[in-house]
């Protein structure tokens, strides 16, 4: 059972802004960076946000990340149909063990 | 171009052993950690462990310590994940991924395509 809690689902209509939260603790998010991964059914996860708020080359700027204290958020502005996927936050604990969030399924209505 | 190519799907019986692979190319394999991630059917991602092929330094998640063995072969740029005695609960898709970053600012930038392991009698 993951120690990083995300809402199971989130949804919005095209063009809307959707936010996904990721709640952790002092020994993980509180002392480390947060990354976000996007996963489509049957495919490998893809890096979406790294080091809290950095976008890899090729990731649209409608995706943004932030971190405050022991929580982090992923925002999708101008939601598009192709954004329908599962999203996972990830961080490292004090022993540098990796941790993934519980995952959030984003649906475009 | 960086690529991680994993071995194909496996169907095994409980109690059997298995070793799956992840071959890296397009970069210096010995200079980057490779992690393994489990995804059980319909479930989320779970971090299993990580290996530095340069010196075979390995870190296991407490949840997977003793349950699997991670290894690497520098000569073939391949990382491995193995089980000595599979259980039905090992049925899952397993991903390898390259870890980059420094001083705690780590993330997985490239992922393998995944290996589906099915354990059934």
Q: Please list every residue in chain B whose beta carbon sits closer than 8 Å to the beta carbon of residue A56.
A: 109
- Which of A98, A101, A105 is the best mutation test for B, with the most CBs of B within 10 A? A98
Q: Which two tokens stand for residue A24?
A: 């952790």
Q: Which residue has the tokens 């022993």?
A: A95
Q: Please, which residues bridge with residue A17 across strands?
A: none
Quote the CA–CA distance of B93 and B114 in Å, as a whole number: 6
Q: How far off is chain A from B101, nearest CA to CA, in Å?
A: 9
- Over residues A18-73, the pLDDT tens digits come to 999 999 999 999 999 999 999 999 999 999 999 999 999 999 999 999 999 999 99
B-chain CB neighbours of A35 within 8 Å are 107-108
The per-residue DSSP string of A42-105 comes to TS--EEEEBTTTBPPTT--TTEEEEEETTEEEEEESS--GGG-EEEEEEEE-TT--EEEB--EE
Q: Which two tokens stand for residue B71?
A: 């290894």
Which residues, listed in sequence order, are joined to residue B22 by a DSSP beta bridge? B6, B79
pLDDT at B2 over 90: yes
Closest CA to A45 of B91, B15, B114, B41: B114
Cβ atoms < 10 Å from Cβ of A75? 14
**Chain B contacts in chain A segment 3-42 (CB below 8 A):** 32-33, 35, 37, 39
A47 vs B: CB within 8 A: yes
What is the pLDDT, as a whole number, of residue A1? 64
Q: Is B44–A45 a contact, with Cβ atoms under 8 angstroms apart?
A: no
CA dist., res. A79 & res. B10, Å (int): 38
Q: What is the pLDDT of residue A2?
A: 74
| Least confident among A25-29, B12-16, B68-72 | A25-29
């Amino acid at each position: 059972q993951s120690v990083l809690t995300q809402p199971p689902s989130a949804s919005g209509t095209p063009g809307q802004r959707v936010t996904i939260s990721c709640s952790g603790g002092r020994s993980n998010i509180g002392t480390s960076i947060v990354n976000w991964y996007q996963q489509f059914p049957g495919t490998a996860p893809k890096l979406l946000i790294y080091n809290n708020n950095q976008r890899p080359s090729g990731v649209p700027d409608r995706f943004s990340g932030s971190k405050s204290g022991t929580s982090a958020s992923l925002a999708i502005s101008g939601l598009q149909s192709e954004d329908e996927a599962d999203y996972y936050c990830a961080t490292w604990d004090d022993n540098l063990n990796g941790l993934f969030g519980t995952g959030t399924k984003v649906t475009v209505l | 171009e960086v690529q991680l190519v994993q071995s194909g799907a496996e169907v095994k019986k409980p109690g059997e052993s298995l070793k799956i692979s992840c071959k890296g190319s397009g970069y210096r394999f010995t200079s980057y950690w490779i992690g393994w991630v489990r995804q059980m059917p319909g479930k989320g991602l779970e971090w299993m462990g990580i290996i530095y092929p340069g010196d075979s330094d390995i870190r296991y998640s407490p949840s997977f310590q003793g349950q699997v063995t991670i290894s690497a072969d520098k000569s073939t740029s391949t990382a491995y994940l193995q089980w000595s005695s599979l259980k039905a609960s090992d049925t899952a898709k397993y991903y390898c991924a390259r870890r980059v970053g420094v001083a705690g600012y780590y993330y997985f930038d490239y992922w393998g395509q995944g290996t589906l392991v099915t354990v059934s009698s």
